[in-house]
């Protein structure tokens, strides 16, 4: 009997994966639980619905989402082709009419003869040797998530995501901060930002007054399950941060030989020391507010944020432990993970993983040779991150230029670096497309 690909979840990753497999002549069963079973965020029964913003990011290839989209277009992205028809004016951002786009995506999927759309909730992992692509997204149905733990174990499936801001090292003014570990234990690994009482009070007031992201009803209890946002701690009392994540004990400032009133610590985030993470700074502050308030801190006046802090409901696996570079489950090779559940973050990143997983699953059915994506491409750098990051503190990621291998430029010209990385990525993607016969 001819083998097929089963795709569970017809969101952004699922429709892209289904199309890529079907386009290669493979039969596809595509399961979607809506409209019969709803999620907390989707509003319709349409496939590929954008749940919140209508923007798919920048159109510029010198911006991360622009480069990722460019590669997806080269790979014949189904979603982007249709989205193009529903673009709304939005400057250099690729924004669409969300509902009309999702409606057309649904119509087009329904027209594809070798895709069988089955609108029912999948509660367990199908017993089959056919490739199964799990693309159930951040709001995966509860029964399915529960049953997934037979593969991932409970400890490697997460239901909530809290990340702290990450800052480029070359944007930190190191003259105003100092390296030290608490009580000088181990190496002086942390960057410490000392605050006097006045600076601390101003910072606390800024956090409390800042604009926050709206909390969705279904997210209201997450603060109790996980760590508190920094602004929430600030609200609990003037001293709560100084006794909590900003406690200065054991962090003597070598310039004054005294313990500051409060200390903000930054921890090295990558082996090359290109990035530092603000410790304990999970937050729901709007991104513009994070930039405004954190740039008032000594040494961070010119901080470039590689990633902002965030907190939201999110179902995802511990990618580095569970999947390989083909988005394939290490333990059960017919299973693939794509979309937000595999540890990527964002619309375009979800499309990227769905598209690539769809190609790999189809190639498996067709017994075709498979080739890793080069790490120098945006799609390859994403896979590289979610399969090779440190599993102990794995957090979902968007694609950023920081995930691509370093290129050297005179005087570290950042704009030029991005342009060079983009050029290499597009060139390498073209070569991969040819080699893999895409």
Ligand X SMILES: Cc1cc2nc3c(=O)[nH]c(=O)nc-3n(C[C@H](O)[C@H](O)[C@H](O)COP(=O)(O)OP(=O)(O)OC[C@H]3O[C@@H](n4cnc5c(N)ncnc54)[C@H](O)[C@@H]3O)c2cc1C
By CB under 6 A, is residue 433 in contact with ligand X? no
By CB under 6 A, is residue 135 in contact with ligand X? yes
By CB under 6 A, is residue 306 in contact with ligand X? no
CB of residue 40 vs ligand X: minimum separation in angstroms? 7
User: Which among 46-54, 79-87, 317-325, 357-365 is the span making contact with ligand X, rule CB under 6 A?
Assistant: 46-54
- The closest alpha carbon to 14, from 276, 296, 339, 274, belongs to 339
Are 332 and 151 in contact by the 8 Å Cβ rule? The answer is yes
By CB under 6 A, is residue 39 in contact with ligand X? yes
Are 360 and 326 in contact by the 8 Å Cβ rule? The answer is yes
CA 24 to CA 243: how far, in whole Å? 59
Pick from 66, 131, 138, 320: which binds ligand X (CB under 6 A)?
Answer: 138
By CB under 6 A, is residue 53 in contact with ligand X? yes
Q: Is 207 helix (H, G, I), strand (E, B) or coil?
A: helix
CB of residue 406 vs ligand X: minimum separation in angstroms? 26
By CB under 6 A, is residue 389 in contact with ligand X? no
Are 50 and 73 in contact by the 8 Å Cβ rule? The answer is no
By CB under 6 A, is residue 113 in contact with ligand X? no
Helices 197-209 and 287-294 pack at an angle, to 10 degrees, of 170
Q: Is 224 helix (H, G, I), strand (E, B) or coil?
A: helix
- Given the complex with ligand X, which of 52 and 271 has the nearer CB atom? 52
DSSP state of 175: G
CB of residue 437 vs ligand X: minimum separation in angstroms? 26
Query: Omega before 35 cis (within 30°)?
Result: yes
- Given the complex with ligand X, which of 299 and 358 has the nearer CB atom? 358
Are 365 and 7 in contact by the 8 Å Cβ rule? The answer is no
CA 6 to CA 275: how far, in whole Å? 39
Structure tokens given for 234: 């600030």
User: Which among 124-132, 139-147, 264-272, 319-327 is the span making contact with ligand X, rule CB under 6 A?
Assistant: 139-147
By CB under 6 A, is residue 11 in contact with ligand X? yes
CB of residue 438 vs ligand X: minimum separation in angstroms? 21
Q: In the complex, which residue's CB is closest to ligand X?
A: 11
Strand order in the sheet with 87-88: 55-58, 93-96, 87-88
By CB under 6 A, is residue 356 in contact with ligand X? no
- Given the complex with ligand X, which of 50 and 61 has the nearer CB atom? 50
**Residues in the site for ligand X, rule: CB under 6 A?**
8-14, 31-34, 39, 41-42, 51-53, 121-122, 135-141, 144, 216, 339-341, 346-347, 350
């Amino acid at each position: 009997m001819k083998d097929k690909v089963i795709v569970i979840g017809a969101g952004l990753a699922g429709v892209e994966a289904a199309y890529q497999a079907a386009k290669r002549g493979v039969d596809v069963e595509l399961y979607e639980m809506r409209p019969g079973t709803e999620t907390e965020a989707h509003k319709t029964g349409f496939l590929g619905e954008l749940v919140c913003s209508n923007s798919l990011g920048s159109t510029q290839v010198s911006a991360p989402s622009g480069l990722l989209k460019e590669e997806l277009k080269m790979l014949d992205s189904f979603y982007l082709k249709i989205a193009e028809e529903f673009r709304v004016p939005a400057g250099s951002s690729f924004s669409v009419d969300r509902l009309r786009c999702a409606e057309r995506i649904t119509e087009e999927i329904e027209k594809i003869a070798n895709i069988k759309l089955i609108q029912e909730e999948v509660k367990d992992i199908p017993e089959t040797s056919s490739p199964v692509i799990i693309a159930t997204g951040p709001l995966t149905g509860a029964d399915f998530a529960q049953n997934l733990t037979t593969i991932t174990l409970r400890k490697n499936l997460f239901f909530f995501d809290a990340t702290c801001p990450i800052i480029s090292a070359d944007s930190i003014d190191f003259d105003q901060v100092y390296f030290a570990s608490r009580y000088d234990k181990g190496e002086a690994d942390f960057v410490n930002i000392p605050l006097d009482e006045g600076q601390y009070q101003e910072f606390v007031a800024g956090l409390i007054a800042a604009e926050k992201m709206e909390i969705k009803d279904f997210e209201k209890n997450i603060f109790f399950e996980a760590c508190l946002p920094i602004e929430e701690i600030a609200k609990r009392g003037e001293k709560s941060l100084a006794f909590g994540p900003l406690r200065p004990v054991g962090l003597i400032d070598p310039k004054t030989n005294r313990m500051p009133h409060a200390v903000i610590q930054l921890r090295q985030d990558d082996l090359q020391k290109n990035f530092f993470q603000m410790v304990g700074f999970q937050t729901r502050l709007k991104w513009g507010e994070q930039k405004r308030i954190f740039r008032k801190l000594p040494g961070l006046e010119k901080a470039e944020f590689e990633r902002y802090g965030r907190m939201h409901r999110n179902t995802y696996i511990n990618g580095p432990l569970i999947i390989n570079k083909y988005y394939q489950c290490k333990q059960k090779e017919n299973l693939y993970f794509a979309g937000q559940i595999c540890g990527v973050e964002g619309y375009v990143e979800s499309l990227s993983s769905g598209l690539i997983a769809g190609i790999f699953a189809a190639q498996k059915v067709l017994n075709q040779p498979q080739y890793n994506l080069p790490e120098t491409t945006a799609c390859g750098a994403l896979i590289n991150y979610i399969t090779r990051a440190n599993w102990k503190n794995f957090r979902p990621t968007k694609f950023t230029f920081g995930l691509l291998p370093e290129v050297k430029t005179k005087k570290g010209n950042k704009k030029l670096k991005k342009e060079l990385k983009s050029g290499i990525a597009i060139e390498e993607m073209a070569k991969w497309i040819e080699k893999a016969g895409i």
